[in-house]
Amino acid sequence: MIRNSDNQDWLIAFFLVLAVAYVCVKMIFGKYWRKYRRAMLYSQEAQKLIYEKNVLLLQAAVSLNVLAAFSIGLFVYLFLTHFDLIAQLPENFYGWALTTLTVIVIAGAKYFIIGILGKSGNNTEASIQINHQWLINHKNFGFFLLPFSAASAFLLHPIDELALYIGMALLVIMLIMNYVKGFMFLLQHRISIYYGILYLCTLEILPILIIWKVICFLRE
């Protein structure tokens, strides 16, 4: 639960805006949102979405990606502030904005680096497929995290910490799914094992190590 009651004002407003935004996306793009949910579980559904040329599908994808970035940034912010992992992180809207910006920068860098690796290895199609797969997880898990963020922000101990632990477990599951699907795709399409190792180490493991080192440095 948020310790400073002044911080609850902007959080309440933010949760309401985010919830209303998700409801609007559900009402406008419900058909395509269901497709992204199925695509997370079934690779054939994911393949179909890549080649489906539809303006509404693109609008749904952009909307869900943005909302998911806000939601994941909110959960990470609540996790960091609850456990005082970064003492310098402000417990206000600016702290959330800084955390969310970091999430967006990491995701954007990953997207573009995968594209660059694909072009350099003459595997542009593979890079498109890999980016498509992890963005599907991003869309869905961003939504899944929202109720756990709300529980951690407004419910009393120990429910708030339990919500944070469950939410972090969901994030770990998302990362594992990214690792497995990305690596399996490379193996299935007989892409060089060198690029597989480079993908796994550079784009999945290295960002986590960097974030952990930054947190340890800021805690000193």
Mean pLDDT by runs of 10 across the 220 residues of the chain is 62 92 94 90 83 87 95 92 80 88 87 79 77 90 94 88 93 83 70 61 64 60
**pLDDT number for residue 131:** 86
Number of structural domains (the chain) is 1
Residue 102: both structure tokens together: 């970091």
Nearest to 74 by CA among 17, 146, 16: 146
Residue 101: both structure tokens together: 């910006």
**pLDDT number for residue 27:** 94
Q: What's the gap between Cα 47 and its chain centre?
A: 20
Q: Which residues contact 16 (CB under 8 A, 6 or more apart)?
A: none
**pLDDT number for residue 189:** 64
**pLDDT number for residue 191:** 61
Kindly report the pTM of this predicted structure.
0.86
Q: Which residues contact 208 (CB under 8 A, 6 or more apart)?
A: 175
**Domain span holding position 35:** 5-219
Nearest to 39 by CA among 128, 106, 138, 112: 138
CB 40 within 8 A of CB 122: no
**pLDDT number for residue 121:** 67
